[in-house]
Amino acid sequence: QVQLVESGGGVVQPGRSLRLSCVASGFIFSSYGMHWVRQAPGKGLEWVAVIWSDGSNKYYRDSVKDRFTISRDNSKNTVYLEMNNLRVEDTGVYHCMTLSYWGQGTLVTVSS
Amino acid sequence: DVVMTQSPLSLPVTLGQPASISCRSNQSLVHSDGNTYLNWIQQRPGQSPRRLIYKVSNRDSGVPDRFSGSGSGTDFTLKISRVEAEDVGVYYCMQATHWPPWTFGQGTKVEIK
């Protein structure tokens, strides 16, 4: 069955960096665009970034542009989110998803 | 950006009774390819989100037939014909027609009376 497993979350101070990973299985990873969506504590879902199946296109929400970078390695069935210059407002659970399937998420806490 | 507005934001329902959630967008969600990319997503307490409905009215595999989606243009509805205990959670509409960004409604919390 389809599985998306995120990792890499943790507690970091403002201004620091984290790299999230999402390992996919159960489907042809290289055929699907991959998204990151986040959820602040007690809040709704917020789209963050997307990368095309072949990595040719990437889009970001305005608030993370120039700080976050999405990438993928189709040989490893993995999508990444490199997050730099983190802010308190970036705190939340980060899910990877394909539009059809969602991972369970990894918690990022940005706090001094 | 496309703004998605859901109502109500809280929906207490009696077991076995129907429930309905409205989702409105501030522009038509009809894509130039003729499809309407409006999804409904369920998030049960403590669980990851799960897509229930895609392209307005198509149920995902394994989704009970008590869930149905309808609508067109800017107005959409998710209906649960008879609410069961396992349906408790937050429901989001999400548009994938006009991007970036992909946008979600605020979420509707369904709880049992």
Which residues of B lie closer than 8 Å to A, measured between beta carbons? 39, 41, 43, 47-51, 54, 60, 90, 92, 94, 96, 99-107
* Cβ atoms A38, A107 nearer than 8 A: no
Task: Find the residue in A nearest to B51 (Cα).
Answer: A100
Chain A neighbors of B100, CB-CB under 8 A = 47, 50, 59-61
* Cβ atoms A108, A16 nearer than 8 A: no
Report the half-sphere exposure of B62 (CA within 13 A, side-chain side). 5
Paired residues of B89 in beta bridges: B110
Per-residue confidence (pLDDT) for residue A41, from 0 to 100: 94
Task: Read off the pLDDT of residues B48-75 as tens digits, 9 standing for 90 and up.
Answer: 999 999 999 999 999 999 999 999 999 9
> Rounded distance, CA A90 to CA B50, Å?
23
Which one has a higher pLDDT value, A99 or A72? Answer: A72
Under DSSP, is residue B94 helix (H, G, I), strand (E, B) or coil? strand
**Please, what is the average pLDDT of chain A?**
97
Per-residue confidence (pLDDT) for residue B49, from 0 to 100: 93
